[in-house]
Structure 1
């Protein structure tokens, strides 16, 4: 009964309202706009200033303090101008069509800005980086990408909800205060109009003046009715109102006091003066950018992607140099080349190929002998390599492969407990977390194991790099670097597949070896067997066009999430639930791995199996949602994230052990080379970053690299290496272990000579004739930052901006091994000045060398891929889109795709 009465009362109250709205839409709009103009202006105000304060906080240490204090207020100039415009549009106007125009502009743009502010804030909290809105325009709208986007929806909704709620309570105050300020700012214009009014009256008054009607026929206007036409601040809402009359004069006296005018106009004048005195600099322009304009103005590229004008030097040895040269002639290569060897097409007279001898940065170690510790087992024939398995380990940091006692990660776990001590039962769990990695690398993790898990073998055997960095912190770019022995293309996202990957990838190489005259499967000598390449992953291959990349890398036999879900697949249905937004646990591939081995052995083919793991990817889901506890709890949730990550690392470790057991089960463990490399690391335990996106921290770069074989002695490589050295090392091992036939061995030697990376089978050369061994990493997503280090000075890391809106970043890993205090500056000169004060001229010289070497290398990287970026022009030397010089054959090699491909992706 009570419910019925309530519903009846609501009906009685609202039905007349709806009838009135339907009968008079104009009045309905007036009623709505009276509330909305305050609310949505305030929403724009909070969004703009909230986004700007976050923006400045993110780059707080990127400018010298003196410059920040002097020019900091000018970084709000665009925001203030936008808000003054919005406040003008949000005033009450007597003409309804003009109000409609104001509502049409203010409401959607305010909502857009609040959404952008909420997105950027939630993204920054999770990743520690801001969104680059120019990259967001090329978001990949495939199913996997949409699921990735939805993972961050909760954080966005929380921030947006808080923003909308807070705005409800402060909208009136913000609207009132800004209206008062704007009324004062409009005072000079009103004063001018007041002075000009008599002139207009004298000139046109006699023509336009009409006799006044009898005042008796009009009723008097009540003061309250007049006050209804006031804005919230007590001012006339017509900001340029210049009417005379006692009420208006009284209001003006009450609000526009001389002191208020002096303060507001004086501060605003100083604000304008500082803005127009501020010198032009890309850093200032970037920090000044206002939210609604950033997608259109952010991050212009330079003609020289690395701007070194602040630190000139004599680098004529790099000028006009190119690493491209006609490919050498090999008698075993067919007339038109082979897949992956298109540059050997003799019918193309313009074909150019990367040639190490033409690369001014290349340092070779091919003339060095094989490492002393390995040479004996290679010479006596103990090492046989029939099959090669490549495990690309998703998001695997170098310091968790294996986890070591008293390492940074160990101490990070200890800090999660109140007494800074890890409980004994947790220590026991941690000691067994990465037993397989400990065994494979031979690294001493500091734990004592009293079991016989590995039959008293301290190490599996093989080459393990302790100081290895990835070629790219974006997974698909890292794959290209590892599998093709190259550095990825310096541009955003997966573009390598549509351009010229400038070296043959391992599947291409193995296919070329299989074409030699002495290859046959009609023999028991495996060195004469042809190769077969297989790609496996239990996660989707649809993200960012990976399904187009893997064929470009030479893989045509694939097992992916889509295969697992195909009813016609041999082992359908999938035996477990999806563990993350990409797919299933890696262990779903176990039967497919067995099948691949059985097929290879039965058909006398050599298996090259590449497996990209996926379980260690965010959000670090585990089968059946089963987790062990390693860290104490924290209110921020970061400890929980690290705990989930460590659980997946342990899962991955067990999965590698299972793969080895499958090899042993099939009787091929002693004839299989297992190559393991992280695609990138993760700075999660350092700064909470759950993704390497736009994250320059060394934790995102340091990865494990292991080439394991049970007949090799354990060898630790402490010299800095890069993952593009894996391909030449594999080929070198195949050659030196005499695991290739005579014909394919000769072809392998020819191919090996073309790679830029040094083989880890031989002593590495860090510096030669004053030239350093430079190593580059393309940062996620590829076109904004580039990291460089030198094997000769491995402690120094420099992260270089490729667009105007990012900082230079220098760290010294000897003094700051976990990069707690990076030196960051928008200006290279400011960076050099600080390094000179802290380190001296020697480090400034290293900085200069790194910058100039990278300046040359980036352009050469584009030429190698036959990639033509689109670049803008400005008065200071920035150029518009167009082809780079020196790319003679770009049109002949299908490189017509440029950065405009981003627009294509945005439509997908």
Structure 2
């Protein structure tokens, strides 16, 4: 019975590995699978691969049954030959009647010994990386991942020449100055009360590490520079009130689909999927593609080029849209921490952050601080009474809040009201109806949340409060389903059609979400607040497909398509600007504060707080000229790769190069030049930094060679610093 059970476990595990690889191009990490499968929604995610797994199991079972006897006979002969069995009776029992002299010949024994010796020799001399990982056998890897030697971390900033006193900067007004030393790192070792809990007016135990911008050797500020010229001119012409903020997170939001344009790599792949293509066919295709992202066109002002684009000069739309922005993490929950809180996430697998106070105040905490300092009785009575109103912070999504304990995270980040699928799929919910349809294993289409969001907006305005609404879309998450009755289309041609089915599903899901964003903007207009609302659109991360690289999805996938995200700060009265900034989503929070200050959208006390806090964050403001480097320091872009603890994306605004840094021995180093290879079709890879650097030197030159080695050191230092700032200790330390 035990043997049968072990065989079944081994069969199912093998089938899972093969089917997972066939679908994604990656391998299962059993520790991660256990974590994902701990929740009901996570189990549904795992079971979405049941069909290919069942097919693989069937193939393995049939192949094993057909080959079992032959393998048994072959292995028996080899083992007997190796042992030089002389007992005729025993040997005959094992192999059946035969001519023993012929079967166990000297030649057979010789080649068996030679083969065994070569195998043992190769085992002894093989490099540990990556073969220790590759030779892990089921079911042992299921019981606990192989022991993987962790790469060293760097406790002291590895570029001390950049910290010389000649580069130190004195404090000036709200700017705290910059004077790091090798003994400081980005963390102060003084005792200080946690600033977030100060914002919440609670007592907390002293902490010995907190983020100190004065001592951060990586920090570059641009707050001493004037806002961008068009913004200054617009502010002279008319007031730009920001009384409300709507923060929209786009699940799997790829920049090349916000909007889709005819000069993109994706369009080229769509075009090449058609075997025969005349002018009429091209016109039909362009008409079809122009319907995918029309709202994104209006919001960004970027024309698709498909011949029926919206008027990008629409006077009712304005704002800043960006190329070059990279997500801070390809795990959604970690990405939210970057965007809400302007910090670096914890580079360990999954959401340990759910149980740790963030080391920087998040946007909702700041709004709570504004509220605490207001005298509610004076609301609406002073000259600037609208600035004395309190903020109402709301988070809304139509999918579950249970997956990876999102509800706990949102509470930790300071939202006063929340809405999840658990709130709308019960019979006593206000807008419950029997035909509610789930589009994926996480929950419902965004449109099911529409009446609830409208009520939240209306109630906030009725209470004379300022709205901070954050909304998360989910239809663009695997399996990219849309509601029944939604008119799905086929965008790729019939050439290799099966290879493009997933991307076709994704394009349809994007079209649905684009239409939903139009509805969301319409709700603001219906409420009468469109001209006084800053709406921020940002992708939580991208989404790689077979059209981009061999591995589908974000899990353990460092491809740049998982990091390039749209970022738009929309306000009808802002000037229309399209900017190329090789930056990170860590800049979103300081940019929002900077916009509130420069548009005079805060009262005097709140303005002082915002001016002070803007200088506390790691990111630069995107409404000012972006500094790619300063006194030899580069503006580094760090990205944690899903699930968090295995790989780090290291980039810099100063150069086009990108290094994917493995944090254990199971993954390769990977280097790309985004100027020469913007879609990372020909990366340089290596199992050691030495082998990678040599190849980089040969293909990209000495400067890239030097940068890659520097990027590894800075990345390892950044990992150690985040763990200090989050007060996290590795379990095996």
Q: Is the shorter-chain TM-score for this pair beyond 0.5, marking a shared fold?
A: yes
Counterpart among 583, 592, 609 of residue 747 in structure 1: 609
TM alignment of 1:230-241, pairs within 5 A: 230-231=93-94, 233-234=95-96
- 1:288 is aligned to 135
Match 1:373 to one of 230, 235, 249 = 230
1:437 and 2:299 matched = no
Q: Which residue of 2 aligns with 1:55?
A: none
Residue 845 (1) aligns with residue 710 (2): no
Q: 1:319-468 to 2 correspondence within 5 Å?
A: 319-325=182-188, 339=197, 341=199, 348-350=205-207, 352-419=209-276, 423-449=282-308, 457=314, 460-468=317-325
Output the CA distance in 1 between the equivalents of 2:344 and 2:311.
Answer: 37
Deviation at 1:349, TM superposition (A): 4.8
- 1:634–1:640 CA contact under 8 A, matched in 2: no
- C-alpha contact 1:574 1:588 (8 A) present in aligned 2: no
Alignment of 1:412-811 (within 5 A): 412-419=269-276, 423-449=282-308, 457=314, 460-517=317-374, 520-523=378-381, 525-573=385-433, 576-624=436-484, 626=486, 627-633=488-494, 637-684=498-545, 685-687=547-549, 689-793=551-655, 795-811=656-672
| 33, 50, 74: which one aligns with 1:177 | 74
Structure 1 position 228, deviation (Å): 11
Unaligned 5+ runs, structure 1: 1-102, 195-222, 236-249, 330-334, 872-880, 882-908
- Contact between 2:671 and 2:685, CA under 8 Å: does it hold in 1? yes
Partner of 2:38: 141
Q: Is this contact kept in 1: 2:153–2:717, CA < 8 A?
A: no
Aligned residues: 707
The partner residue of 2:695 within 831, 834, 840 is: 834
Report how far residue 478 of structure 1 moved: 0.8
Question: Residues 829 and 455 of structure 1: is their aligned pair in 2 closer, same or farther, counting only changes over 3 Å?
Answer: closer
Shift, 1:340, TM fit: 6.9
Measure the CA separation in 2 of the matches of 1:307 and 1:866: 14
Structure 1 residues 299-327: Cα deviation after superposition (integer angstroms, max 9, x where no partner):
5252624799xxx9877958544212379
Distance 1:457 1:498 in 2: 46
Q: Deviations over 1:554-589 (max 9, x none)?
A: 113111101111333222236631111111110112
Residue 764 of structure 1: CA displacement?
A: 0.5
What is the root-mean-square deviation in Å for CA atoms of aligned residues?
A: 2.7
CA contact (8 A) 1:789 1:796 kept: yes
- 1:856-875 equivalent positions in 2, closer than 5 A: 856-871=717-732
Deviation per CA, 1:530-574: give whole Å up to 9, x if none: 001001000111111112111011113111101111333222236
SS at match of 1:702: coil
Query: Larger Cα Rg: Structure 1 or Structure 2?
Result: 1
Cα deviation 1:268-324 (Å, max 9, x = unaligned): 21222232233x53323223323333343525252624799xxx9877958544212
Write out per-residue CA displacement over residues 686-742 of structure 1, whole angstroms, 9 at most, x where no aligned residue.
237552111111111111011100101111220212111111100100011000011
- 2:155–2:717 CA contact under 8 A, matched in 1: no
Conserved 8 A contact 1:133-1:298: no
CA contact (8 A) 1:518 1:743 kept: no
In the alignment, is the contact (CA less than 8 A) between 1:459 and 1:714 conserved in 2? no
Where 2:75 maps in the other structure, the secondary structure is helix
From 166, 169, 185, the equivalent of 2:63 is: 166
Q: Quote the offset at 1:824 in angstroms.
A: 1.3
For residues 380-401 of structure 1, give each alpha carbon's deviation from its aligned partner in whole angstroms, at most 9, with x where no partner exists: 4421101100000001111010
CA deviations 1:782-831 (Å, max 9, x no partner) are 011110100000x2111111111111111112222211221111111000
TM-score (norm 1): 0.74
TM-score by length of 2: 0.91
Per-residue deviation, residues 322-375 of structure 1 (Å, max 9, x unmatched) = 21237999xxxxx99664747x97875545421112110111111111001111
Specify whether residues 341 and 178 from structure 1 end up closer, same or farther in structure 2 by C-alpha distance, changes over 3 A only: farther
Structure 1 CA distance for aligned equivalents of residues 35 and 440 of structure 2: 23
3-state SS of 2:124 partner: helix
Contact 2:245/2:469 (8 A) holds in 1: yes
